[in-house]
Amino acid sequence: MRKWLNAYFDFSKQEFNGLLVLIVLIVLISATPYLYSFVTPEPDNSVAEQLAIKRLVLPVNKSSVFNSRKLKYNVKKEHHYSLFVFDPNTINVDD
């Protein structure tokens, strides 16, 4: 490997050894999160978290939700918009 690198770069023996140490450190540091996830198990959800998750799940039968909670939804009216010519250079302060 040193001969291959010396074909492109001119490393001394100390520089090459330092490069190897640097590469090993980079690999170890980048692999640390993956190794840590294998060593420490993921904690189980607490009871409060499980209840919160169950509250977020929507019921399948929508009619039972509307009857039991008597929710009122505001129906939005459709608005019709039309485009017009607008030139900011010719408009006055009032417009």
Domain boundaries, the chain: 2-51
Specify the pLDDT at position 18.
Answer: 92
Specify the pLDDT at position 28.
Answer: 95
Specify the pLDDT at position 62.
Answer: 53
| Cβ–Cβ under 8 Å, residues 2 and 16 | yes
Q: How far is residue 4's CA from residue 22's CA, in Å, rounded to a whole number?
A: 18
Q: How far is residue 5's CA from residue 85's CA, in Å, rounded to a whole number?
A: 66
Specify the pLDDT at position 41.
Answer: 77
| Cβ–Cβ under 8 Å, residues 5 and 11 | yes
- Note the residue count of the chain: 95
Sequence-separated (6 or more) residues with CB below 8 Å from residue 53: 45
pTM of the predicted structure, to 2 decimals: 0.40
Q: What is the pLDDT along the chain (95 residues), one digit of tens a residue?
A: 777 777 778 878 898 899 899 999 999 999 998 888 888 877 777 788 888 888 887 665 555 445 555 555 666 677 788 888 888 888 888 76
User: 13: helix, coil or strand?
Assistant: helix
Give the Å distances, CA to CA, from 14 to 11, 23, 43: 8, 14, 46
